[in-house]
Amino acid sequence: MNKNLITELHNKKLRFNEVKILLSKKSVISNKKLFLSLSKEYNKLIKIVEYFNQWLDINKNIYNTKKLINNIELKDLVTEELQLCKKNRLIIEKKIVDILYSKENISQYGCFLEIRAGTGGNEASLFASDLLHMYSQFSNSKNWHIEIINTNYNYSGGYKEIIIRVNNKEAYNYLMFESGGHRVQRIPMTESQGRIHTSTCTVAVMPVVQESKIIINNNDLRIDSFRSSGAGGQHVNTTNSAIRIIHIPTGITVECQDERSQHKNKAKAMSVLIARLNNLKLKEKQKKETLIRRTLLGSGDRSDRIRTYNFPQRRVTDHRINFTLYRLEDIFNGKLDLIIQPLINYYSNR
């Protein structure tokens, strides 16, 4: 299975354990509305977690069985056992994907999408703008609503960083495949010799998390206000409406300056902080499962290159499934289904 899909399953397992604990508390039991809501969530998660635990057990069995492959006396038995394990793993993976992509289990809270310019200077910032356009057009084609959370402009053009929120329950299940390193190969307009330059951006996709799932102590927050910068007219530089929130225990910093109201900027910044803390919580849990992480998940780092956009050849290549198509203009105009659907199909059939 794809590492993003495995990360999603770990996330659901973590949430399942949280819900299980909540359902045993008297304060929850006495609140009929909350108890009913959590019970429904529990019933949706239990089958996914059950299959995922089976999948983890099978992989652990495969890992241990492979250690015996060099034993001549046991080789036939080991080979037979490995074939059976791999067959069962495929069956479990198919069941997991079927449940995850059923309408009943689609994420209900949308997602945050962060685009950051990487190597390549101004060209990387322009590439970040192109990616924003691509995801915006894709969202429009799905009738998803996009909300800009924060922008950090490069005054030579493009963005150093931009964070958007996609407010649709289907968004995360599609866009989760976009997390990682994106690379562009093209001739910049300032290039007089016609040489192809390579620039990069990183994309991070995080599900929107209900505030009740992440408890933040106000004493752990440092909240500063400052004057906004960048596009926005005369108002931008006249009031301290921009907000910077620092979560002191983790050092996570979130800024928001796109709203004129300080309260609205604070609310948006808090929603991003909650999503990042949830993401950090998940990563810490995964680190405890060192054997599984080493053998199954890889590094999981956002800088992993997942896709290349080659302008001279009009080529787009997704390196995870070795999938290439020559419809670059269509992709940047929002027809991302041309890539996302093959990814879903690939991991559904593994």
Report, as an integer, the average pLDDT of 76-98. 86
Three-state SS annotation for 73-90:
HHHHHHHHHHHHHHHHHH
The half-sphere exposure of 329 on its side-chain side, counting CA atoms within 13 A, is 2
CB 318 within 8 A of CB 47: no
CB 309 within 8 A of CB 185: yes
- pLDDT band, very low/low/confident/very high, at 115 (cuts 50, 70, 90): very high
210: Cβ–Cβ under 8 A, 6 or more apart, which residues? 109
CB 252 within 8 A of CB 273: yes
H helix runs in 183-317, sequence order: 262-288, 290-292
- SS3 for 316? strand
- pLDDT band, very low/low/confident/very high, at 323 (cuts 50, 70, 90): very high
CATH topology identical between 111-209+290-348 and 212-273: no
* For the chain, the helix, strand and coil percentages under 3-state DSSP, each to the nearest 5: 50, 20, 25
Q: For residue 318, which of 306, 334, 330 has the smallest C-alpha distance?
A: 306
- SS3 for 247? strand
Instruction: Look at 77-81, 291-295, 303-307 and tell me which has the smallest mean pLDDT.
Output: 291-295
Two structure tokens written together for 312: 């001279």
Residue whose entry in the numeric block shows the structure tokens 């080529």:
315
Please tell me the total number of residues recorded for the chain in this structure: 350
Distance CA 184, CA 189 (A): 14
Question: Would you state the CATH architecture of domain 212-273?
Answer: 2-Layer Sandwich (3.30)
Q: For residue 209, which of 260, 259, 282 has the smallest C-alpha distance?
A: 282
- pLDDT band, very low/low/confident/very high, at 210 (cuts 50, 70, 90): low
In the 8-state DSSP scheme, what is residue 205? E
Instruction: Look at 205-214, 252-261, 268-277 and tell me which has the smallest mean pLDDT.
Output: 205-214
Pairing relationship of beta strands 180-186 and 305-310 according to DSSP bridges:
parallel
pTM for the full predicted model: 0.58
Distance CA 242, CA 72 (A): 69
CA 265 to chain centre: 23
Residue 263: phi and psi, rounded to 5, are -65, -40
| CATH code for the structural domain at 111-209+290-348 | 3.30.70.1660
Measured between its terminal Cα atoms, the distance across the chain in Å is: 7
Helices (runs of H) and strands (runs of E) counted in the chain: 10, 11
Domain parsing of the chain, residue ranges? 3-105, 111-209+290-348, 212-273
Output the average pLDDT for the chain: 82
Query: C-alpha angle with apex 268: 249 to 180, nearest 5 degrees?
Result: 70
The residue ranking higher by pLDDT, 166 or 232, is 166
